């Protein structure tokens, strides 16, 4: 394309302008450049505006060589000097302005209170983060949660004061550096300096090309969530504006629902939860004791059967003992069978009908592991073990039954 001077950036003159008429300078494929625009392009940590140009959706906006490019389907149908109408998604823009300005104030307060330099900023869907590096004041080596709460209060006090937010534009670095900047300048010309509050005593004063509300009060609210160590810095998680309010709403509803569940208010909710936990623990202990007594009783029944077989003249005549329970897991079966191993002459099988599982126990005269290995797979079973104990698990009940029948025949 031939060189066009620049796009007039109306969002720099009036951040509250939601619409404008503009002329097409250049259009090709899915990109269009206008002589003026209300669309803020991605930059300075702030995402771009979206909206419509003459009713067609704009999905991305970026700046290059002083021109603002709008990405949209159907851009190629525009012709040079065609008149178009730009409309931005104001809700998204104002959301960006609230969050972005909230981040300014919090960063400025961290600088004023702790000498912390903002070295990183992330605006996510769930929350924002800033990474604060403590460099200015050697006596401050960490940001505790108490300190973070102090910064949160100071940030909101700036918001409540409804301090003016101003943007000053400077041609040169020397002019801009006359202001009490929180961060060294990274550019040399055409510098925008944003100040929250009076320049002499600004809550924040820093170079920024983003969009900001005209007063701090429009940020509404800044809420901090947590602070954590991050690569030698301190990462603060927070939210601002309408998003902070919506988050408060969600958390309030959660607390209210928990309160209903536990018949408690916010003040005694934790006590009620703790009491419930202790009750659950006591019930679990009681259940454990009862379960042990059931296991012991069942083991004794089997032991009696084993003892009654001692009258048999030859161990070859010993039957394979099979027991089945529908209320026992594999661990319970092991608990029953293992202590009996030395008393078993031939083979003991204990089954869990709920798991289609059979545990085999023997004193070693019969190799349990080999029985499982050689026979279980015939009925789609899996498992294994050693000479004195092994397990076999079957996908279906009849697999378990036929496996046991086979073992009994095998050892007859
Ligand atoms: Zn900014």
**pLDDT band of 410, cuts 50, 70, 90:** confident
Query: Domain 94-259, CATH 3.40.50.720 — does that match?
Result: no
Interval 384-411 mean pLDDT: 93
Please check whether residue 203 is in contact with residue 108, taking contact to mean a CB–CB distance below 8 angstroms: yes
> What's the 44 CA to ligand 1 centre distance in angstroms?
7
List, for residues 368-389, the tens digit of each pLDDT value: 999 999 999 988 999 999 999 9
Please check whether residue 152 is in contact with residue 164, taking contact to mean a CB–CB distance below 8 angstroms: no
* Burial class of residue 322 in the structure, from the number of CB atoms within 10 Å of its CB (0-12 exposed, 13-18 middle, 19+ buried): middle
> What's the 50 CA to ligand 1 centre distance in angstroms?
18
Interval 212-226 mean pLDDT: 98
> What's the 385 CA to ligand 1 centre distance in angstroms?
67
Phi and psi, residue 349, nearest 5°: -120, 125
Look up the CATH number of domain 301-410: 3.10.310.40
Residue pointed to by tokens 């302008």: 17
Provide the token pair at 134. Answer: 């403590």
Share the mean pLDDT of the chain: 94
Written as one string, the DSSP assignment of 128-191 is EEEEEEE-S-TT-----HHHHHHHHHHHHHHHHTT-BEEEEEEEEHHHHTTS--SS--S-SEEE
Look up the CATH number of domain 8-88: 2.40.30.130
> What's the 199 CA to ligand 1 centre distance in angstroms?
16
- Domain coordinates in residue numbering, the chain: 8-88, 94-259, 301-410
- Give pTM, 2 decimals: 0.80
% pLDDT > 70, the chain: 98
Residue 269 has a CB neighbour count (10 Å cut-off) of 16
> What's the 5 CA to ligand 1 centre distance in angstroms?
26
Residue pointed to by tokens 């769930």: 126
> What's the 346 CA to ligand 1 centre distance in angstroms?
82
Question: Given this chain, do its domains 8-88 and 94-259 carry the same CATH topology?
Answer: no
> What's the 32 CA to ligand 1 centre distance in angstroms?
26
Please tell me the predicted confidence (pLDDT) of residue 315.
Answer: 63
């Amino acid at each position: 394309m031939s060189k066009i001077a620049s796009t007039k950036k109306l969002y720099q003159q009036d951040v509250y302008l939601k619409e404008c008429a503009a002329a097409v300078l250049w259009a090709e494929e899915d990109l269009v450049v206008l002589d003026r625009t209300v669309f803020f392009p991605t930059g300075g940590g702030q995402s771009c505006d979206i909206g419509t140009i003459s009713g067609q959706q704009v999905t991305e906006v970026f700046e290059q060589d002083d021109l603002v490019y709008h990405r949209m389907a159907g851009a190629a149908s525009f012709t040079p000097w065609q008149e178009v109408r730009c409309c931005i998604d104001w809700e998204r823009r104002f959301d960006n302005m609230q969050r972005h300005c909230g981040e300014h104030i919090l960063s400025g307060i961290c600088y004023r209170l702790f000498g912390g330099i903002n070295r990183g900023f992330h605006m996510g869907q769930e929350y924002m983060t800033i990474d604060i590096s403590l460099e200015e004041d050697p006596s401050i080596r960490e940001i505790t949660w108490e300190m973070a709460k102090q910064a949160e209060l100071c940030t909101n006090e700036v918001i409540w004061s409804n301090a003016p937010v101003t943007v000053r534009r400077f041609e040169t670095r020397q002019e801009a550096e006359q202001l009490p900047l929180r961060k060294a300048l990274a550019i040399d010309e055409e510098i925008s300096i944003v100040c929250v509050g009076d320049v002499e005593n600004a809550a924040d004063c820093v170079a920024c090309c983003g969009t900001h509300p005209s007063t701090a009060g429009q940020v509404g609210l800044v809420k901090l969530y947590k602070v954590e160590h991050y690569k030698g810095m301190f990462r603060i998680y927070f939210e601002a504006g309408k998003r902070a309010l919506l988050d408060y709403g969600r958390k309030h509803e959660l607390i209210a629902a928990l309160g209903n569940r536990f018949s408690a208010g916010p003040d005694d909710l934790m006590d009620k939860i703790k009491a419930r936990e202790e009750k659950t623990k006591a019930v679990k202990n009681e259940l454990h004791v009862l379960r042990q007594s059931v296991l012991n009783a069942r083991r004794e029944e089997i032991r009696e059967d084993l003892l009654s077989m001692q009258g048999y003249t030859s161990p070859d005549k010993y039957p394979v003992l099979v027991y089945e329970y529908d209320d026992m897991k594999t661990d319970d079966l092991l608990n029953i069978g293992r202590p009996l191993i030395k008393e078993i002459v031939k083979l003991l099988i204990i089954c869990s009908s709920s798991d289609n599982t059979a545990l085999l126990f023997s004193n070693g005269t019969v190799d349990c592991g080999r029985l499982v290995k050689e026979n279980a797979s015939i009925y789609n079973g899996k498992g294994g073990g050693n000479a004195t104990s092994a397990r076999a698990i079957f996908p279906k009940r009849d697999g378990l039954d036929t496996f046991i029948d086979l073992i009994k025949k095998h050892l007859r």
